[in-house]
Each structure stands twice: as structure tokens, then as C-alpha cells.
């Protein structure tokens, strides 16, 4: 059997890899930049092929997310049902900050050089149309542990549950096949964490450290991280797909975890954050946050591959001859689409970081 080296574009459940890069960009406001970004996004698939063909077996994949602020200008479409800028969640003690970010590139591969090469080409193609606001290189740490020493990502859905939990379906037909993605960069107060006993750490996480086995949920009082991030309602348990990565630089005292969650419903991830930061009951926040500080927070919609590749075919202000079904546009645009034919300006409000500056390590 020959190895097919290329993972389909925008496949959110691409294999868990040894390395990944999380690149967050903002798009300049002028029309020229928006057009340049549109064309670069449509060409992402080709760039991935260019790189992965040279590195067979490296499992290179790239997922692109587009933020609410630029969605309509870039795609000429109405916003997906749940898409909106990251909403800050302020608990009594800790805050999930909202920071700028219009585009997310989630680059995964088994080789760091391959991730690097794709990022280099992407940034080169986008040129001055975008500004990098955050860039994190993550790596797998032993048996998929975070830098706190615990195994991370165990609760991911598998089998038929995976698409059910992560891919938009008939509830939003225009955007069926896409996903919502939310990212946050956390930095750890590692020394304080290591001062705890293993039993204290296990109580906070809700898992045994050595063998990753879940502890029983407590019935009342302070709940474990594992319990707070389990969302259950009348429809059962709502899962999300995580592909978190540790990152760090011991020389400069930086130790972190980059959280990335893909979901069919953005509200599920937001609910998890609310339970962590506000607490359940309110006031009893996730104790993990006493040792992990959210430095960034952004969310995006991951359009299906055909929609992304078709971006180049649809301008923001098409003349009406484009309305006749013809070759080219891969987008299924409903005729009632309200943004069509406009200049696509929409909202110009950008989320502003409040308490912390993105990318800075806490004291």
C-alpha cells in the first residue's frame, strides 16, 4: 500500500502529531488587504500540498479559522449562527481575557521543520495584509502530558461521536461541514504547582497523575477540573475535540499549554470556560486556574474545505451577473444572503484585551 501523504484540507480531526504551530493574525482594514487575504486563504490547500509532498509521512495538516470581525468582508456571507468575537468571562478571581485575532492557522506535523516551513510560506504569502499577534510552537511532551505532568486530551470523542460533536450539521445548513474553534494561551506558575503534593494536584485535575485514571466526581463543594469541563444536559454529554500542546522556554521561565477546542456548538466550549472561571457553584472556580493564567482568548469558524477554496471566486461586492449559477464559485450562497452585493463593511468594533497584555509571561 502506498502512503497517501496528504491529509485533506480543513480536516479538524487530523492525527495528533508531535509538533504544532498556532498562528493568530489580524487583517488590515483596507480593501486591498482583504482581497489579498481572501486569495491567500483560497491557496492554503496548495501550499500545504507543496510542503507535504516534500515531506512524505510527516502528517502535515493545516486548519484555517476565520474570526467574526472579518468574516463577512472576507467571505461575502452572513455570519455562521454562533460566530461572534470571544466573550470575556470574568469570574471573581480569574478572567478569561478576550484578545485580538481575525485568523487562526493550526499547523500540525510530526516534524518541526515541516510546521515551520508551512508557517514561513503562509506569512510570506499574506505579506503586509496581516499582522501577527501571537505565534506559539508546541511539542508533544512524553506520553501526551502537559507541563504540569498530567496526561492531556483524554476525554476526546471517538468513532461516530467525533463528527457528531465537532461538525456543524442541519441546524445551520449554509455552514454544514464546518466547525467552531476556540483557542487560549495559558502560562503556568510551575514552581507553585510543583510545591503541591501529588495528591493535591490529582484532586485539582480529577485524575491520577501516573496512570491517568479518573477519580470519582465529588457530589458537592470544590469540583475538579475534569468535572467542571464535562458539559451534560438533557441531550446527554457534549464533547469537544482538543488538540492542546505544551510550549515553553525554560531559559526565560515560560511554561504553558496552548488550549485549542473544536466543537459543533461554540456554546459548549463557552460553557466549559464559564464553569472553570466563574465556578459551579459560582465562587468555587477551577483550582487549576490558580496555577494557569489565560493570556489570550479568540474564537473562529472553520469553513469546510470547498468554502475556503472557493473564497477567491466570490468578491465582496459582486456584480449581479455573478448571481446566475455558473462555473467557479464553490459557495452555496442562499439568495436571501443579506451581505451579498454590499461593500461588506459590517462591524468595525474589535475586542480589546483588558487585564493582561497578550503574550506576556505573568510575574
Partner 1 sequence: MNHLLRDLAPLTSDNWSLVDSEAVDRLSVALGARKLVDFAGPLGWEHSATNLGRVGPAVPAPVDGIVARPRVVLPLAEVRAAFSLERDELESGTRGAADVDLAPLDDAALRLARLENSAVFRGWDAFGMTGVAQASPHAPVPAGADPRRYPVRVAEAVATLKRSGVAGPYGLALDDDAWVAVTGGNDAGGSPLLTHLERILGGPVEWTPGVGSPVVLSLRGGDFLFESGADLAVGYCAHTATTVDLYLQETFSFRVATPEAAIALA
Supply the residues annotated as catalytic: 152
- Asked if 329 is part of the footprint of partner 1 (rule: CB under 8 A), the reply reads no
Under 8 Å between Cβ of 96 and 184: yes
Per-residue exposure over 119-151, b if at least 16 CB sit within 10 Å of its own CB, e if not: bebbbebbeebbeebbebbbebbeebbbbbbbb
Under 8 Å between Cβ of 88 and 96: yes
Q: How far is the CB of 27 from partner 1 (least distance, A)?
A: 12
- Asked if 161 is part of the footprint of partner 1 (rule: CB under 8 A), the reply reads no
Under 8 Å between Cβ of 177 and 304: yes
Tell me the DSSP string of 31-84: HHHHHHHHHHHHTHHHHHHHHHHHSTTS--EEEEEE-HHHHHHHHSSPPPTT--
The one segment of 156-164, 183-191, 213-221, 346-354 that binds partner 1 by CB under 8 A: 346-354
- Asked if 252 is part of the footprint of partner 1 (rule: CB under 8 A), the reply reads no
Q: Considering only residues 92, 176, 218, 338, which one is a binding residue for partner 1 as defined by CB under 8 A? A: 338
β-bridge pairing 292-294 and 130-139: unpaired
- Asked if 346 is part of the footprint of partner 1 (rule: CB under 8 A), the reply reads yes
Q: What share of the chain is helix, strand, coil (3-state, %, to 5)?
A: 30, 25, 50
The one segment of 14-22, 115-123, 129-137, 335-343 that binds partner 1 by CB under 8 A: 335-343
**Which CB sits closer to partner 1, 249 or 357?**
357
- Interface with partner 1 (CB under 8 A), residue total 32
Q: How far is the CB of 354 from partner 1 (least distance, A)?
A: 6
Q: What is the spatial distance between Cα 35 and Cα 323, in angstroms, rounded to a whole number?
A: 20
Q: What track of x and - describes contact with partner 1 for positions 62 through 81 (by CB under 8 A)?
A: ----------x-----x---
Q: How far is the CB of 99 from partner 1 (least distance, A)?
A: 12
- Asked if 3 is part of the footprint of partner 1 (rule: CB under 8 A), the reply reads no
Question: How is residue 139 written as a grid cell?
Answer: 511539542
Binding site for partner 1 (CB under 8 A): 29-32, 34-35, 72, 78, 87, 315-317, 319-321, 323, 336, 338-350, 352, 354
Amino acid at each position: 500500500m502506498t502512503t497517501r501523504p496528504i491529509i485533506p484540507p480543513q480536516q479538524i480531526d487530523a492525527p495528533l502529531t508531535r509538533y504544532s504551530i498556532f498562528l493568530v493574525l489580524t487583517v488590515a482594514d483596507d480593501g486591498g488587504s482583504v482581497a489579498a487575504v481572501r486569495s491567500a486563504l483560497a491557496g492554503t490547500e496548495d501550499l500545504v500540498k507543496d510542503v507535504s509532498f516534500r515531506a512524505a509521512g510527516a502528517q502535515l495538516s493545516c486548519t484555517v479559522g476565520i474570526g467574526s470581525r472579518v468574516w463577512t468582508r472576507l467571505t461575502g456571507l452572513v455570519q455562521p449562527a454562533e460566530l461572534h468575537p470571544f466573550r470575556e468571562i470574568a469570574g471573581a478571581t480569574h478572567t478569561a481575557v478576550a484578545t485580538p485575532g481575525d485568523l487562526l492557522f493550526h499547523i500540525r506535523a510530526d516534524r518541526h521543520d515541516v510546521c515551520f516551513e508551512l508557517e514561513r510560506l503562509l506569512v510570506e504569502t499574506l505579506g503586509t495584509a496581516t499582522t501577527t499577534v501571537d505565534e506559539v510552537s508546541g511539542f508533544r511532551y512524553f506520553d501526551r502530558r502537559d507541563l504540569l505532568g498530567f496526561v492531556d486530551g483524554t476525554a476526546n470523542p471517538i468513532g461516530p461521536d467525533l463528527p457528531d460533536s465537532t461538525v456543524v450539521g442541519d441546524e445551520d445548513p449554509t455552514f454544514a461541514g464546518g466547525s467552531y474553534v476556540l483557542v487560549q494561551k495559558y502560562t503556568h506558575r510551575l514552581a507553585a504547582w510543583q510545591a503541591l503534593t501529588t495528591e493535591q494536584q490529582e484532586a485539582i485535575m480529577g485524575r491520577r497523575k501516573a496512570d491517568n485514571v479518573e477519580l470519582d466526581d465529588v457530589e458537592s463543594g470544590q469540583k475538579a477540573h475534569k468535572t467542571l469541563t464535562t458539559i451534560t444536559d438533557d441531550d446527554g454529554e457534549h464533547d469537544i475535540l482538543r488538540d492542546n500542546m505544551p510550549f515553553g522556554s525554560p531559559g526565560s521561565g515560560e511554561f504553558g499549554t496552548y488550549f485549542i477546542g473544536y466543537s459543533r456548538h461554540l456554546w459548549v466550549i463557552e460553557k466549559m470556560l464559564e464553569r472553570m472561571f466563574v465556578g459551579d457553584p459560582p465562587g468555587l472556580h477551577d483550582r487549576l486556574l490558580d496555577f494557569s493564567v489565560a493570556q489570550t482568548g479568540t474564537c473562529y469558524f472553520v469553513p469546510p474545505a470547498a468554502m475556503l477554496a472557493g473564497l477567491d471566486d466570490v468578491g465582496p461586492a459582486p456584480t449581479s451577473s455573478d448571481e446566475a449559477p455558473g462555473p467557479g464559485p464553490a459557495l452555496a450562497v442562499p439568495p436571501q444572503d443579506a451581505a451579498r452585493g454590499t461593500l461588506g463593511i459590517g462591524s468595525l468594533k474589535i475586542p480589546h484585551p483588558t487585564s493582561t497584555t497578550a503574550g506576556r509571561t505573568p510575574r
